[in-house]
Amino acid sequence: MSSDDTIEESLLVDPKLLFIGSKIGEGAHGKVYQGRYGRQIVAIKVVNRGSKPDQQSSLESRFVREVNMMSRVQHHNLVKVSLLLSSLSLLSILLLEYTISIWQFIGACKDPLMVIVTELLPGMSLRKYLTSIRPQLLHLPLALSFALDIARALHCLHANGIIHRDLKPDNLLLTENHKSVKLADFGLAREESVTEMMTAETGTYRWMAPELYSTVTLRQGEKKHYNNKVDVYSFGIVLWELLTNRMPFEGMSNLQAAYAAAFKERPVMPEGISPSLAFIVQSCWVEDPNMRPSFSQIIRLLNEFLLTLTPPPPQPLPETATNRTNGRAITEFSIRPKGKFAFIRQLFAAKRNINS
């Protein structure tokens, strides 16, 4: 077994301390439960193993890859993770059901169940949050704050040579106070040196860059290559959602959305969006991947736009405050004295008030 098919021992946790409780979600590649690791409340992802030998081998390789990638990147906008690789036969009795997401990495397990243990975020997915407030829009500073969280997380992945490939609101988890988001689910992530075509069951067409799927038939064994700019395209779609709180390619099936994107159709930009923000969104989803900005550029552009937002006007501070004691007015010193001798003038004024 190659080093790519193994998990470091330092990432393992003790399965005897793991308890799997109720299901909190489900995805194409597994289920996620709320549970405990020792005294810590955690999320436990149980990965589908498949029924056929060749399918099992492929899924096990994907599992090991996901675990190794999750464990090697650390960022406050990435969900944290841990691992366990020993037997979980006792745990199988406790299993109820299962989901997907990336929190703080705590551990994983491979035999007989493939399990990843992560931090549990008490908030909801960005998808559920946006749906819950629809048709209301996000407050613009909050929408941009979420966008910056996402951009920083992806910048961290790209700096480590990782392409996420499945960025969408379902894989973005809100913190408990709903003030920030973390990027989750590395199930489809790839190292930049190993890229392959996506299929209908991987990713979601509404957010996928057109170069991830093909509108032409490839020769047997032929692969269409792409780079980390596929995440930039998906980010552009997510940013559009944050600004509009609408589903991209509304009224279209997944297949129709794929064809629309492949033939250069994009979601409509509402008139009320600032031209500067519209430029950021549209630059992310341009057809030529090489023309899309990097996440360091996106972060800079978003921060520059935030500086242009008019802050709320500050409450005016009173020049002087007057109190009454025993029926006599006492003038306090000015909070913001003006002039070179302002303090001395105030001192004499206060003395006159006391003597009058």
List C-alpha distances in Å: 290 to 202, 214, 215, 283. 24, 18, 20, 11
Phi, psi of 283 (to 5 degrees): -70, -25
Would residue 166 show up in a list of annotated catalytic residues for this protein?
Answer: yes
47: closest CA among 39, 56, 38, 35? 56
SS3 content of the chain, % helix, strand, coil (to 5): 40, 20, 45
**DSSP one-letter code for 318:** P
Helix (H, G, I), strand (E, B) or coil at 336: coil
Locus of tokens 């064994």:
221
Is residue 45 part of an annotated ligand binding site?
A: yes
Buried b (16+ CB within 10 A) or exposed e, 328-346: eeebeebeeeeeeeeeeeb
β-pairing, 114-119 vs 103-109, is: antiparallel
| Catalytic residue selected from 149, 166, 170, 231 | 166
List C-alpha distances in Å: 230 to 125, 131, 292. 22, 25, 9
List C-alpha distances in Å: 161 to 101, 158, 164, 180. 20, 5, 10, 24
Show the tokens assigned to 350. Answer: 């206060």
Interhelix angle for 275-284 vs 229-244, to 10°? 140
β-pairing, 103-109 vs 79-83, is: parallel
Q: Up-side HSE of residue 190: CA atoms within 13 Å toward CB?
A: 20
Residue 340's contacts (CB-CB under 8 Å, 6 or more residues apart) are none
Active site residues per annotation = 166
* Residue set of the binding site: 45
* Residue set of the binding site for ATP: 45
